[in-house]
Amino acid sequence: MKRRSSIDWYLMLPYLILSMLGIVMVYSASAGVGLSFGQGQASILAIKQAFYFFIGLGLVFCVNKFWFKLILSDLFIMILSVLLMGALLFVLIKGQTVNGAAGWINFGFFSLQPAEFCKFFFIIFFASILRKRQTDIEQYGLGETFKENKKPLAIPATILFLILIQPDTGGFAINFMIVFVILLASSTSWRTLRNWTALAAGFLVIFYGGIGFFAKFAENIHSYQLQRIVSFYNPFLHAQTSGAQLINSFYAVSNGGLFGRGLGNSIQKMGYLPEANTDFILAIISEELGLLGVVLVLGLIYMLIYRMIQLGRKTNNLQYSSICYGTAAYLTIQTLFNAGGAIALVPLTGVALPFISYGGSSMFTLSICFALVLKISSIERNQELQKH
């Protein structure tokens, strides 16, 4: 009998294409950075992004071959929680401030963002907790199970609080929503699902309903986070200040049309649109590669998300399904925040577009989470072969 490949190419191909496209787009979008820091800066950033990708690929290999059980062990999760709380406390005291948030540890040649690694931590932490309580959840429901013993929730609550007070509202929102989706997906009670969904819908109504009030209230307050809300509400009223980023993002998106101006031909990246290689890289993709380029990128991310949800539904192991759903939520929420921020559907949060935006912390975290799902896919495929 012909042996089937253990690699899930429905996951692997989108990951590889997105990562390589990310290197190309980081090089192209960094042209404006080169105007300020020298002609070779775009090449340096592209080389660093390629280095991050190869490190990420190495992490994928190591997790699949050697580290899978280690990463899911209680000892590793406990050590990681201590390290993350220590790192978050450190950045509050001595962290490098970027865009109003003291969320970075500067190592000279490389800056680390602890809040990014919290996303990975929350996925494996709650997957482990849910595995231990699977029987109780099935018997009594999610709410009753945690109502009886709230102690494990103290660690994630502390970490979320430390992220929020950096202040990193984008990081807090993404981490919180990853936890929310994992817990929601693990529930077997329709009543719990209904209540939690109603809670989420209520939050969205309050958020969008109150955004105008906060925008007016915050107009004269010189806070980076509040000014982002002001610019989100009406960027054209603040075209010379907090709204400039969004307006130039709109120009980039509209300039691209269906087919784009051509790779490397963006106008907005040449000093008009800040953070072109990170927060607004999708706007540059739209300008250079057009709507078709945006659809390609979002389509590849959707393929990853869809496949992860498929795997989560397929497995009977609650720990594995939680990892799949958590990683799918991570990709979905981060993509929505990045893409939504570029076209003013949500306030700017400074989050990376998965596998595309420049940055090591994001690439490493995403690669580890992706590797866990890839290994779960391999385990499920082998179990299917054994049955037949």
Which range of residues forms the domain containing residue 193?
Answer: 36-387
Lowest-pLDDT range, 98-112, 211-225, 244-258, 365-379?
211-225
Contact at 8 Å (CB) between 104 and 96? yes
pLDDT at 32: 74
What amino acid occupies position 324?
Answer: C
Beta bridge partners of 106: 111
pLDDT at 211: 47
pLDDT at 332: 93
Relative to beta strand 111-112, strand 101-106 is antiparallel
20 inside domain = no
Relative to beta strand 101-106, strand 96-98 is antiparallel
212 inside domain = yes
> CA separation (Å) from 287 to 39, 66, 384?
22, 42, 45
Among 381, 375, 339, which residue's Cα sits nearest to residue 67? 375
Confidence of residue 168 (pLDDT cuts 50, 70, 90): confident
> CA separation (Å) from 47 to 22, 43, 54, 289, 358?
11, 6, 11, 22, 11
pLDDT at 103: 72
- Give yes or no for residue 148 having a pLDDT over 70: no
pLDDT at 354: 95
10 inside domain = no
17 inside domain = no
Confidence of residue 1 (pLDDT cuts 50, 70, 90): very low
1 inside domain = no
Question: How many domains are contained in the chain?
Answer: 1
- Give yes or no for residue 239 having a pLDDT over 70: no
Mean pLDDT taken over the chain: 83
pLDDT by residue (tens digit) across 259-292?
A: 999 998 999 988 788 888 888 999 999 999 999 9
pLDDT at 357: 94
Q: Report the alpha-carbon distance of residue 345 to residue 284 in Å, rounded.
A: 17
Beta bridge partners of 101: 98
pLDDT at 3: 52
**Alpha helices (H) along 218-280:** 224-233, 244-256
Confidence of residue 34 (pLDDT cuts 50, 70, 90): low
- Give yes or no for residue 171 having a pLDDT over 90: no
276 inside domain = yes
Q: Which of 1-5, 184-188, 271-275, 323-327 has the highest mean pLDDT?
A: 323-327
Lowest-pLDDT range, 2-6, 119-123, 287-291?
2-6
Q: Which of 35-39, 151-155, 235-239, 362-366 has the highest mean pLDDT?
A: 362-366
Q: In this prediction, what percent of the chain has a pLDDT beyond 70?
A: 76
Q: Report the alpha-carbon distance of residue 219 to residue 212 in Å, rounded.
A: 11
What is the pLDDT averaged over residues 133-147?
67
Residue matched to tokens 């592209």: 46
Among 62, 91, 106, 94, which residue's Cα sits nearest to residue 364? 62
Q: Which of 153-162, 245-254, 362-371 has the highest mean pLDDT?
A: 362-371
What is the pLDDT averaged over residues 175-202?
71
Residue matched to tokens 């649109």: 273
- Give yes or no for residue 374 having a pLDDT over 90: yes
Among 378, 356, 376, 275, which residue's Cα sits nearest to residue 53? 356
Q: Report the alpha-carbon distance of residue 383 to residue 388 in Å, rounded.
A: 9
Lowest-pLDDT range, 55-59, 236-240, 276-280, 302-306?
236-240
Per the confidence metrics, is the pTM higher than 0.85? yes
Lowest-pLDDT range, 9-18, 106-115, 226-235, 286-295?
226-235
Lowest-pLDDT range, 38-42, 131-135, 187-191?
187-191
Contact at 8 Å (CB) between 174 and 115? no
What is the pLDDT averaged over residues 58-65?
95
pLDDT at 190: 52
What is the pLDDT averaged over residues 198-208?
59
pLDDT at 375: 96
15 inside domain = no
144 inside domain = yes
What is the pLDDT averaged over residues 207-212?
50
pLDDT at 215: 46
